Structure 1
Amino acid sequence: MFRHHSQPLVSAPAETAVLALLLAEGPLSRVELARRTGLSSTAVTKAARPLIDDGYLYELPPERTAPGAGRPVNPLAVAPDREYFVGLKISADELFGAVCDLRAGIRATAGRPVRECTPEAVAALVAALVDELLDMDPAFRERTRHLGVAINGDVDRDAGRLRHSGLLGWKDVPVAQLLAASTGLAVTVENDVRALTVAEHWFGEGIGTGYFALVTIGSGIGSALVVNGHLLRGAHGVAGEVGHLCVDPVGPRCRCGARGCVEAVGSTDVILTVVREAVGNPRLTFDEVVAMAREGHREAVDAFTRAGHAIGVGIAALVNLVGPERVVVSGEGVDAYDLFSRSIQEAYAAHAFGAASRCSLSIRPLPWEEWARGGAAVAIQALFPQPPATATIGAG
């Protein structure tokens, strides 16, 4: 029988360890699970049993072993269709939604334009979009109880509130409460870059890493960090903001109010503004600026070079402080990464300290559907007991 509640699926540490590892890296044998989690084989079997009984895990056919190595083993695997999750990315002009399975595989997508960007109007639009998604397959509606929301701005995930988003023009909005009321689902809200980082750490480039970072280039410069296997939020929920590291104390004013932030030099909005002013054409689009830079237009090339240097210095500072094993660079701005790449890499190499420079930078263009998948990944986390920095608000 399906569990229609918003409580964590697992509560015991052993169950949590086994299910989390299988979600990210399964199928795995009980022996391998014991080795990887540090549990005894008996503890692994005991932890897996209720998850098998409830249909979240299943045993694969026996694997043959070498002669004399003992009886064949039955690897354990996650049943991805056992539960579904709706992921949502809210932007100022569009909603992107996805239904994902238990391993964050995208099963269905849909989007709707946002014509009135008020919390109440968006909540109604979300309800309609969620209905559209869940109606795409009878199993979706039957097996979906969680909605994960990826949204720009300063998010208090404990309270399910958006404290502030300059992009949306929202301040102190109880997003989880509004959307739980409009959709009937349990809602978890997270900053969009952090949600994307959760998806990449659990199900993408960051699988198996204890220290991982993601940096996004776009109208802002976003970033999030995984430290010792956990998403880092800090005491005030704003840890890891590489976009607001100062790279030039007398540089341009950032929209945060400070001077010389990475974002004040490296964002696509700033590049566009700088080139418009340099050539005296306020109607230029970002795509036109990209084309100008690729054709060798000096003002456009210089703007991208300065931006890349600022981003590279910011990434180096992040790597020096935290020492991640891998940094993924993503966001809408990476479509023009060829114009940033050399200056990013040069600045990173010049400022990364010692062994920290062994951290690899990988470029991963991600479509908007992947941001919605980030929301679903955050919803998947609701299956697990969360530390005090996280919480889920249930409908009704």
Structure 2
Amino acid sequence: MNLSRQPPSATLVLQALLTQGPLTRAELGRRTGLSSGAVTKVSAPLLDDGWITELGPAGDRQPGRPATLVAVRPERAGFIGIKITSDELIGMLVDLTAAPLATRRAPLRSRDVGTVVRAVAQLVGALRGQGARGAGESGPAVHSVGVTVSGDVDGPGGTVRYSPFLDWHGVRLAALVEEATGIATVIDNDVRALTVAEQWFGAGVGLSSFALVTVGAGVGCGISLHGRVVSGAYGVSGELGHLPVSGTERVCTCGNTGCVEAVASTQAIVDQVREQTGDGTLSLSGAVRLARSGDAAAREVFTRAGRALGLGIASVANLIGPERVIISGEGVAAYDLFSDEIRRTFADQAFGAAAGCELLVRPLPFEAWARGGAAMAAHRLLAPLPGGYGGAARH
């Protein structure tokens, strides 16, 4: 059964079971707004094709025949998520509920498009083999692959418009990976995919709205409003890193000046500490050690980064009023150096009740980002709707 050819009510039923299940048919009707007849009608083909299963009586205490619980069959479909960084691929195989089945990393020795695509195909093959062995040769068939990349990504069009850290322009990545693997492939911005993961099984579960801010090689932001991760009319949304902030003329990777990312990305921090100390060989870990040792110039760089991030996060809170802002990315390893300035600036700039928004620091390994790619692929299967990702599964 091709889910994309089923009525929207089938998607509603699957989403409800993923987010809130197992449920009885009566409860499915209440939570989806479908009539009992409609639930029965769409459940039949989902049962026949193995997407859902009956678990047995629900233990209903009301007199009469106990209602039967219905649940998603996790093994019905598998999904592979791949996160591409500038020097490494991180991959994960998950089942229909996004439960991890296998993980793997592979180095990238070149950012050439052909080389990266071949490496992605090899990693997909390795994950499929690893998942099958771990499941006793009965692992789920891989339905699709979700590849995530930083930068300006046209998910519906399958094209990486621009990725500064890979130096890619106009790469038709979805088609290339699909041709190399023989598996349906979707792509998207990596932060947006991680936001899907947080909505599905992370710190965004159960929230009507939240934002995810990532600090690392770039500064990104994913937004979830009313249960949908926003992708924007042109595939661009939540570009907090490219909000202009006052007090800097530093040139950003996008070519503009004054962006949050030009001040607060990890490379921007390293560059500024190098300029202040005159040590052109200083690494990020060296800059962090210098600041933690009390070096005034290095600490001021982190303070400026915290101020820029606080301004950006306050802007997000003022614009969309999220219940929570999750702060993650490899840059949070040095969060102690700019956390006070982030919170101080946020408190000063957040308008009215927006200041009550919770700021939650949540370090996440790159495997979580890869899992987001797999979750994104699953969401595209279950909710192939324009403008965002609907529904969130509980895990």
TM-score, normalising length: structure 2: 0.91
Report whether the alignment pairs 1:373 with 2:371: yes
Identity of aligned residues (%): 48
Q: Where do 1:33-182 residues align within 5 Å?
A: 33-66=28-61, 68=62, 71-138=65-132, 139=137, 143-182=141-180
Task: Label 1:389 to 1:64 Cα distance change in 2 as closer, same or farther (>3 A).
Answer: closer
CA–CA separation in structure 1 for the residues paired with 2:44 and 2:203 = 30
Q: Secondary structure at the match of 2:381?
A: coil
The offset of 1:286, in angstroms, is: 0.8
Task: Label 1:360 to 1:75 Cα distance change in 2 as closer, same or farther (>3 A).
Answer: farther
Aligned to 1:384: 382
Task: Label 1:325 to 1:180 Cα distance change in 2 as closer, same or farther (>3 A).
Answer: same
CA–CA separation in structure 2 for the residues paired with 1:379 and 1:140 = 21
CA–CA separation in structure 2 for the residues paired with 1:381 and 1:227 = 16
1:184-210 deviation line (CA, Å, top 9, x unaligned): 000001011111111111222222333
Q: Where do 1:314-353 residues align within 5 Å?
A: 314-353=312-351
Task: Label 1:62 to 1:176 Cα distance change in 2 as closer, same or farther (>3 A).
Answer: same
Q: Secondary structure at the match of 1:75?
A: strand
TM-score, normalising length: structure 1: 0.91
Aligned pairs, number:
385
Q: Which runs of 5+ in 1 are unaligned?
A: 392-396
Q: Secondary structure at the match of 1:103?
A: coil
What amino acid maps onto 1:191 in structure 2? N
Contact 1:250–1:260 (Cα < 8 Å) also in 2: yes
Q: Where do 1:117-266 residues align within 5 Å?
A: 117-138=111-132, 139=137, 143-248=141-246, 250-266=248-264
Report whether the alignment pairs 1:19 with 2:17: no
The offset of 1:249, in angstroms, is: 6.0
CA–CA separation in structure 1 for the residues paired with 2:14 and 2:241 = 34
The offset of 1:48, in angstroms, is: 2.5
Q: Which of the numbers 276, 294, 297 marks the counterpart of 2:295?
A: 297
CA–CA separation in structure 2 for the residues paired with 1:142 and 1:52 = 17
Q: Secondary structure at the match of 2:235?
A: coil
The offset of 1:43, in angstroms, is: 2.5
CA–CA separation in structure 2 for the residues paired with 1:295 and 1:26 = 51
CA–CA separation in structure 2 for the residues paired with 1:311 and 1:106 = 32
1:148-173 deviation line (CA, Å, top 9, x unaligned): 10111211112211111110011111
CA–CA separation in structure 2 for the residues paired with 1:140 and 1:274 = 53
CA–CA separation in structure 2 for the residues paired with 1:325 and 1:50 = 38
Q: Secondary structure at the match of 1:383?
A: helix
CA–CA separation in structure 1 for the residues paired with 2:384 and 2:114 = 29
RMSD: 2.1
The offset of 1:141, in angstroms, is: 7.1
Q: Secondary structure at the match of 2:176?
A: helix
Q: Which runs of 5+ in 2 are unaligned?
A: 390-395
